[in-house]
Structure 1
Amino acid sequence: MRAAERGRHLRTEALAGASARLVAGYCWPWTKPIGKERRLEADVRIGDWHRPWNADSDAVCENGAPPSKIWSVHEKGLDQIGCVYTAQGLEWDWCGVILGEDMVRRDGRWVFRRGKERKDPESGVKRVAVPGSFDPKVRAGSVDEQEFARLVRHAYHVLMTRASRATVLYSTDGETRSYLKDRAGGLQVHGLRPTWENLPEEARVPHLPRPRRGRPSRRKRQSTGPHSPDLFLF
């Protein structure tokens, strides 16, 4: 399945009521918003599928793209892609993780690679010349190869543990995609949405509300039993 198809599946889940975001390894240069209109450059390029990183901005960008501080919850955040630095500590129902070519499978082992950039002659923005990591915090002059590999693995560990319901993986490297498919199987959708109606009968047990700080009133204590009609799971 191509990256575009994975993205469409996440969007479908989001339209059905789930929270969902796309994240990726730091395998493409990251362009700051361009011009007065604060246009986001589509830095993440996989074939004919292009998307911008989440905005490196404290203000709203072109076409209502949210600033970085609300990218994870804004309705238009799904049009952008986060990385380990903007996704860590967050959680969504569904998370699409794009593995770039900083970590690929070769001859039965994982290989970790650094990327090189070039400047596009027409736009002047940075593009990928040699696929690999573009993370400025793991440059060759700052960490050795062993530490570089550890940090890349850690980044993907963070990205792959952001979902509470399902994680959808896609690698830009064909050999790595084949390995992941053999290990994890293809994409399977069983139609379970985060709604009360789609839960099996035995799971439809109302949860108690989260307790508030302070001592509740006597009246509230009497009206918040486990079978109270105004309590819902979702």
Structure 2
Amino acid sequence: MDGVVKTYFQGGLHNTSHPSYQAWSYAKLLQDFNKSVYEDDIQLKPCAYLHNFTGENVLDHDFYKEYVHKAPVFKQRDHRKLRSFIKKHVKYGDHSDILYRIDNGEIRPSKMLADSLESMLEGNEEFVMIDEQKVAFEYVMNAVESAEKDQKKVILVEGGPGTGKSVIAVNLLVKLIGKGHVTSYVTKNSAPRQVYTSYLTGSMKRSSVENLFRSSGQFIDAEPNDFDALVVDEAHRLNEKSGLYSNQGENQIKEIINASNVSVFFIDEDQRIHINDIGRKEEIRKWADEFDAEVIETELSSQFRCNGSDGYLAWIDHTLQIRDTANTDLSDIDYDFQVYSSPNKLFEEIKKKNEINDKSRVVAGYCWPWESKKDSRAMDIVIPEHGFSKQWNLKDHGQKWLVQEGSMEQVGCIHTCQGLELDYVGVIIGPDFKVREGKVVTDLDERYTYDSSIRGLKKMRKKDPDKAAAVADRIIKNTYRTLMTRGMKGCYIYCTDKETEEYFRNRVR
């Protein structure tokens, strides 16, 4: 992967940024956001010194030459080369307080960064806003522009799948940067961050774009109002604690509101698919009150990008038995929904759709172990009676799976497609979702044991079985609701259970 190496840290082998890329990206961050650096034309010369590293032929391999050229990498035995590098670029003492000026420089996005972002957004069909999206965008822009420093604002934008929440969020990021506001796009799930970064990376280098996208756990130590605005996409996925072991910080909602003068939360409560998801409107309002923030709410209730509009979403809710609606079948709804008796046929049809514009994929409920993570030759989703076997999403590309070459040959899971849109989606409904005599029955034990979404539920079941059953039911139903609403033009499904297949056929009719 570009600018990425595999190395041993945090107790195992992990993909991480190449040291040269790290050093160069830090310099780019200063060039893009530190007013003293870009206005006073302060020259930054990054490098990396690995004082304990003695290896050869990896870090300075030709594959990484672009970044090594921008930020030379020095290893343990290269201390003389490092000395020469420093002497070449630092010839005199700091008589003009350069370090002081950088350290105290005002944090503002540079005009070059703003102009580059604007030019990349123009003509990029991924981010064109339509109808209500444009109205909601202007509504939020007006609220941010009119905000005063001593009065926090919390803006709640509610909308279901396909309403273009992410499209609005990315447009807000670019426009606010263009107006000189210190802004970041925030999500808990890294899949949208990585995919939108790849969409926006054009004439600009990846580092400049990546610096605008942040994880929801990055605000633990932030000072009040470090940011003019934080645009929080997929706010329903926010957690209480942060960090690899969920043991850092107090509450992500609190930390985001504290760090920003204006916090914009895009939310769909029916897409909470993890035991630790706390993103509810009630929770956000509670923390807004703690900061005495003005709360502004708006809703994206129409002009869904799904061809079936909100009629299809209402049908999904009714069919998955999330809530009763009047939409008991798909008649008069312009949406391509099909049920297949064979996973092979499902895969073939989605591949045909994908040949049009590379915007169709197959996904599945997380009911199969990820064997290929340890053995690249192993198959994961195996359905013997149909001779069907596929691997989960590409291991090395993880959250960026959706836009990787060859991803059509794999099956995506909830963690790599939530928050992203396709034209057509194929969904394999696993044994965790069954229908018996017309009633949906969810089964926690059929979920993959190591799925982080349900970690802790079996322990909860021993103490409070009713609560655990209710939480599991919500997670499993919301997971399939999310998967089945990724396709803006159509959704094709295959059910591992025959009675469930017939149930869906009858519901379509």
1:56: which partner in 2? 395
Q: Is the 8 A contact 1:93 1:166 kept in 2?
A: yes
Residues 18-42 of structure 1 show CA distances to partners (whole Å, capped at 9, x for unaligned) of: 511111111111125336xxx1521
Q: What corresponds to 2:459 in structure 1?
A: 141
- For 2:505 and 2:485, the matched residues in 1 are separated by 18
1:90 aligns with 2:420: yes
Match of 1:79 in 2: 409
The alpha carbon displacement at 1:173 in A equals 0.4
CA-to-aligned-CA distance 1:81-111 (integer Å, 9 cap, x gap): 1111111011111100111010100022111
Cα 1:40/1:154, change in 2 over 3 Å: farther
Structure 2 CA distance for partners of 1:40 and 1:85, relative to 1, 3 Å: farther
- After superposition, the CA RMSD in angstroms is 1.7
Alpha carbons of 1:182 and 1:31: their partners in 2 closer, same or farther (altered >3 Å)? same
Distance in 2, matches of 1:14 and 1:107, equals: 36
Q: Give, as a single letter, the amino acid of the residue that structure 2 aligns with 1:34.
A: K
The alpha-carbon deviation at position 56 of structure 1 amounts to 3.1
Q: How does 1:171-186 map to 2 (within 5 A)?
A: 171-185=495-509
1:221 corresponds in structure 2 to none
Is the contact made by 1:33 and 1:40 (CA closer than 8 Å) also made in structure 2? Answer: no
Cα distance in 1, alignment partners of residues 381 and 405 from structure 2:
20
Sequence identity, in percent?
A: 30
Task: Give the TM-score normalised by structure 1.
Answer: 0.63
Q: Note closer, same or farther for the CA distance 1:40–1:157 as it changes in structure 2 (3 Å cut).
A: farther
Structure 1 outlier segments of 4+, above 6 Å: none
Segment of structure 1 superposing worse, 95-104 or 15-24:
15-24
Shift of residue 16, structure 1, vs aligned partner? 2.8
Q: What does 1:1-234 align with in structure 2 at a 5 Å threshold?
A: 1-34=341-374, 39-47=376-384, 48-57=387-396, 67-115=397-445, 132-134=446-448, 135-138=451-454, 139-142=457-460, 144-185=468-509
Shift of 1:170: 1.2
Report how many aligned residue pairs link the two structures: 157
Cα separation, 1, equivalents of 2:423 and 2:382? 25
Q: Cα–Cα, structure 1 residues 73 and 142, in superposed 2: closer, same or farther, change >3 Å?
A: farther
Q: Deviations over 1:31-87 (max 9, x none)?
A: 25336xxx1521101221000111333xxxxxxxxx223310123101111111111
Q: Where do 5+ consecutive residues of structure 1 fail to align?
A: 58-66, 116-131, 186-234
Equivalent residues of 2:400, 2:416 under 8 A apart: no
Q: Which has the higher contact order (CA 8 A, sep 6+)?
A: 1
Distance 1:34 1:145 in 2: 32
Kept in 2, the 8 Å contact 1:102–1:114? The answer is yes
- Matches of 1:69 and 1:108 in 2, distance apart? 36
| SS of the residue 1:170 aligns to | strand
- Aligned equivalents of 2:416 and 2:399: distance in 1? 9
Question: Displacement, 1:136?
Answer: 4.1
In the superposition, the TM-score normalised over structure 2's length comes to 0.30
Check conservation: 1:18, 1:94, Cα contact below 8 A.
no
CA distance in 1, matches of 2:500, 2:426: 16
Please list every run of 5 or more consecutive structure 2 residues that lacks an aligned counterpart in the other structure: 1-340, 462-467
